[in-house]
Amino acid sequence: MAELHKIVARLKTALETAGAGEKKPPAEPAPVRIPPHAHRAELASTFARELEAVAGRFLGILTPDEAVARIVEVARERNAQSIAVGEGVANDTGAIAAALTSAGISVVRPGPVADPAARIVMRERIARCALGVAEAHYAIAATGTVAMLSSAGRPNSLTLVPPASLVLVQVDGLVPDLAALLATIGPEAAAAQRITLITGPSRTADIEKRIVVGVHGPKSLDVILVWPRE
């Protein structure tokens, strides 16, 4: 019996020694949570870089109040006497119009017009403005493009006929690429509304392949990304 106890003890010792020598596989590291604002900041950085690459001007990531003040500064830089201000998407463009009026600048506000002759008159008024201010629904980071869904208060002429264009975009409207934009808009909205994609100022090449700016649209494009107050 004593021999049996010795054998059991030796087996127990051997098993414990073998177990102590085994290495456990390393635990999987916990995934790092990326806060939503960090992703937006990354998209904003890419958008700003690509916008500048296509000759646009990035005016910064601003709060709504800062955006209003910056638009007034741009109007003064351009010595603009009249500015067309379109309907907002998420921003209060009425505050922009009020600030420009307080600065002594004439403001044109597009809106629903049923009479075709009146629409022509409105388009001509917008064309005489030195700057068109509009809010886009989305911005594509990969190409520095802004995307607008047109409406009566946000007509295509707002970003086509004035010689300069300034566009606001909510930072939440940033998408990584065109495929993400189309998926976000959805087929029904895309079929029901006209989508305008703007990538930098208007430019074209003549028969001698010389680049000419401003032939088919604004000569300059400024963009502000608006970060909500909260």
Q: The domain containing residue 156 runs over which residues?
A: 37-226
| 154-200 per-position pLDDT tens digit | 888 899 999 999 999 999 999 999 999 999 998 888 788 888 999 98
Q: Is residue 77 assigned to a domain?
A: yes
Q: Is residue 85 assigned to a domain?
A: yes
Q: Rounded to two decimals, what is the model's pTM? A: 0.78
Query: What tokens appear for 5 in the block?
Result: 């106890």
| 85-109 per-position pLDDT tens digit | 999 998 889 999 999 999 999 999 9
**pLDDT at 190 (0 to 100):** 79
DSSP code of 171? Answer: G
Q: Is residue 122 assigned to a domain?
A: yes
Q: How far apart are CA 142 and CA 113, in angstroms?
A: 36
Strand locations in the chain, DSSP E? 57-62, 82-85, 106-108, 131-136, 138-140, 145-149, 164-170, 174-175, 195-198, 203-205, 211-213, 220-226
Q: Is residue 3 assigned to a domain?
A: no
- The total of structural domains in the chain comes to 1
Q: Is residue 12 assigned to a domain?
A: no
Strand locations in 33-163, DSSP E? 57-62, 82-85, 106-108, 131-136, 138-140, 145-149
Q: Is residue 17 assigned to a domain?
A: no
CATH number at residue 210: 3.40.50.10420
**pLDDT at 36 (0 to 100):** 57
Q: Is residue 7 assigned to a domain?
A: no
Query: What tokens appear for 220 in the block?
Result: 């300059």
**In the predicted model, what is the mean pLDDT of the chain?**
84
| 194-210 per-position pLDDT tens digit | 889 999 886 666 666 66
Q: Is residue 16 assigned to a domain?
A: no
Whether pLDDT at 141 is above 50:
yes
